Amino acid sequence: MAIIGRRQQQGVAAAAATLVALMAVVVAAAAEAQPSPGVYPSRMFRAREFGRDFRSLWGAEHQQQEAAAPETGVTVWLDRRSGSGFKSRRAYRSGYFGAWVRLQRGYTAGVITAFYLSNGEAHPGWHDEVDMEFLGTTPGKPYTLQTNVFSLGSGDPPRSLGREIKFHLWFDPTADFHHYAILWTSDHIIAGGAAGFPARPMWVYGSIWDASSWATEDGRYRADYRYQPFIARFSAFLLRGCSPHAPRTCAAPVAGDLTAAQLAAMRWAQRFHMVYNYCYDPKRDHSLTPECRTHLHPSSSSSNSSSSSYHG
C-alpha cells in the first residue's frame, strides 16, 4: 500500500507503506533537503465526476457538490448538528484511489478529515480498512497525518488491530489543494500474516467528523464550535482499480516495487517528520503485530519507554 500526496503546482508529496516494515511517509518537494520520489502516479489518470462515482452516506445537508467540470468535487463540513460522509458507488479489490484535498485553517482541534478504503458496512466489526486521517490542530501547530491498515478486525477494542503511524505535515495543507492517494496492489501491500493483508473488496470513503476524545494530543484539545463550520474540500477524484468480479488478469494501475528514489523519500520523512509508530509504542500488544518483532531492532521499543513518539 502506498499513500501519495502532491502539492499543487509546487512539487510532489509521496508516501509509501508496506506491511513488511509497516512504515509510512508523506513527502512534499518544497524543502531544500527533501528528496523527490521521482514518480507521479496521479498524472497517469483522468479525474472523475463526484456525482457519478460517489453518493452521500450521511449528513447530506452538510455536503455541497462542486460543479466545476471536469474536476468536480464536494465540500463537506462539520457543525454542532452533524458532520458528513460519502462513499463510492462501486467496490474494488485493488487499485489507485486519490483526491485533491484542502483543509481548514485555524483552530480545528478534535476534527478529523478522512479519505479511506473500507468494507465495514459489508463486514461490521470484522472488516478491512486502509486509512488516511488528517487530525485537526491548534493555531501555530502542524496538522498530523495518521495512516492505518488492518484486516479482519476493527480499529476499536476488543478487535483492535490498528497499525497507526503519524506524521507532522511539513507543508501547509490549508493554503492550497494537495493530492493524496492510496495505492492498494499486491506489489505495495505485502502479507505479514493472516490478519495483515486487506484482501476483500473495499469501497472508497471520505468524511469529516468530531473525534474530540482522541484526535488532537490524545484529547487534550477538543472541537470548539465557536469556530464552526469546519470545512474540508475534496476535488478531482482519481479512481482506477479492479472490480470484485474482474478477471484475474486485471492489471494493477501502478506495478513494481518501490524505486530507490521512493525509498529515499520515504526514509527522509520517517526520519524527520514521523512522530508516532505503533511498533515503538510500549503500551501496545505486539503479539497482534508480529511484523514489529520481525522487522525492528529489539531495542527500539524499550528505548522509547517514556514516550509514544518516535523520531528516527
Query: In what order do the strands lie in the sheet containing 144-153?
Result: 54-58, 84-88, 203-210, 111-118, 127-135, 144-153, 165-168, 274-277
Whether 274 is in a domain gets the answer no
- How far apart, in whole angstroms, are the C-alpha atoms of residue 136 and residue 126? 28
Whether 306 is in a domain gets the answer no
pTM of the model: 0.83
Active site residue 217: no
pLDDT at 254: 75
The DSSP-derived string for 146-204 is EEEEEEEEBSSTTSB----EEEE-SS-TTTS-EEEEEEESTTTS---STTT---S-BEE
Which among 49, 71, 121, 129 is annotated as catalytic? 129
- As for how many domains the chain has, the answer is 1
pLDDT at 294: 60
Which among 49, 61, 71, 133 is annotated as catalytic? 133
End-to-end CA distance of the chain: 21
CATH code at 149? 2.60.120.200
Whether 293 is in a domain gets the answer no
Q: Which amino acid is at 177?
A: F
Residue 301 has φ and ψ, to the nearest 5°, of -70, -45
pLDDT at 240: 92
Whether 285 is in a domain gets the answer no
CB 12 within 8 A of CB 40: yes
Residue 183 has φ and ψ, to the nearest 5°, of -105, 110
Active site residue 133: yes
- How far apart, in whole angstroms, are the C-alpha atoms of residue 172 and residue 178? 9
For residue 144, the surrounding DSSP H or E stretch is strand 144-153
- How far apart, in whole angstroms, are the C-alpha atoms of residue 264 and residue 99? 24
Whether 283 is in a domain gets the answer no
CB 240 within 8 A of CB 45: yes
- In degrees, to the nearest 5, what angle opens at C-alpha 182 toward C-alphas 84 and 135? 50
> C-alpha cell of 215?
484526535
CB 180 within 8 A of CB 5: yes
Q: Per-residue pLDDT for the chain (312 aa), expressed as one digit of tens each?
A: 454 444 433 322 223 333 322 233 343 444 446 788 887 778 888 888 899 999 999 999 999 998 765 568 999 999 999 999 999 999 999 999 999 999 999 999 999 999 999 999 999 888 899 999 999 999 999 999 999 988 877 666 655 677 899 999 999 999 999 999 998 876 555 454 445 567 799 999 999 999 999 999 999 999 999 999 999 999 999 999 999 999 988 877 776 777 889 889 889 999 999 999 999 998 888 887 777 876 554 333 333 322 223 333
What is the residue range of 158's domain?
2-263
> C-alpha cell of 15?
508516501
Nearest to 292 by CA among 281, 303, 279: 279
pLDDT at 158: 59
Q: How many CB atoms lie under 10 A from the CB of residue 87?
A: 18
Whether 292 is in a domain gets the answer no
Whether 289 is in a domain gets the answer no
Whether 273 is in a domain gets the answer no
- How far apart, in whole angstroms, are the C-alpha atoms of residue 55 and residue 51? 7
CB 150 within 8 A of CB 129: yes
pLDDT at 274: 96
DSSP summary character for residue 296: S
